[in-house]
Amino acid sequence: MKASEIRALSTDEIRARLEQIYQEYYELRVSRQIGQLKNTARLSQIRKDIARLKTILRERELQGEA
């Protein structure tokens, strides 16, 4: 997910997407532990998506305080 796509979402949509990504990340970690994960690169992609989502949420929080 690109930062521009995330910025187009509302704050509630970003929070919902963050919950979905956390769930997917958990499932991928479990799959990796039991040896069924085929695309290990997806783990790093998800971590980066989580960071992007959290960064944009934090930016919005700071804008609200200013």
Place of tokens 């994960």: 37
Domains of the chain: 3-65 (1.10.287.310)
- What span, in angstroms and rounded, lies between the C-alpha atoms of 57 and 18? 10
Q: So what's the pLDDT on residue 21?
A: 98
Query: Using an 8 Å Cβ cutoff, are 17 and 64 in contact?
Result: no
Query: Using an 8 Å Cβ cutoff, are 44 and 37 in contact?
Result: no
15-59: pLDDT as tens digits: 999 999 999 999 999 999 999 999 999 999 999 999 999 999 999
Other C-beta atoms lying within 10 Å of the C-beta of residue 21? 18
